[in-house]
Amino acid sequence: MPVLRIRGFEIHKDHLSPQDQAALIECLRPVLKAAPLFSPVVPGGGQMSVRMTSAGKYGWYSDRSGYRYAEQHPSGKSWPPIPDPILKIWTDLTGLDRRPDCCLINYYGETAKMGLHQDKDEADFSFPVLSISLGDEALYRMGNLTRKGKTESVWLGSGDVVVMGGEARLAYHGIDRVRFKSSRLLPKGGRLNLTLRVVD
In order of their start, the domains of the chain are 3-197 (2.60.120.590)
Q: Is the pLDDT of residue 89 over 80?
A: yes
Query: What pTM does this model have?
Result: 0.96
% of the chain surpassing 70 pLDDT: 100
Of 30-39, 56-65, 175-184, 188-197, the least confident? 56-65
- Predicted local distance difference test score (pLDDT) of residue 78: 97
- Rounded-to-integer distance, Cα 58 and Cα 123, Å: 13
Using the 8-state DSSP alphabet, how is residue 161 labeled?
E
The rounded mean pLDDT for the chain is 96
pLDDT confidence of residue 138: 98
What pLDDT does 71 receive?
Answer: 96
What per-residue confidence (pLDDT) applies to 126? 97
Tell me: the pLDDT tens digits for 96-126? 999 999 999 999 999 999 999 999 999 999 9
pLDDT tens for 30-88 read 999 999 999 999 888 889 999 999 999 999 998 888 899 999 999 999 999 999 999 99
| Spatial separation of the C-alpha atoms in residues 184 and 131, rounded to whole Å | 20
* Cα gap 48→115, rounded to integer Å: 10
CA distance 98 to 94: 10
Residue 29 has pLDDT above 90, yes or no: yes
Least confident of 59-63, 151-155, 192-196: 59-63
Q: Which residues of 147-167 are buried (b: 16+ CB within 10 A; e: fewer)?
A: eeeebeebebbbbbbbbbbee
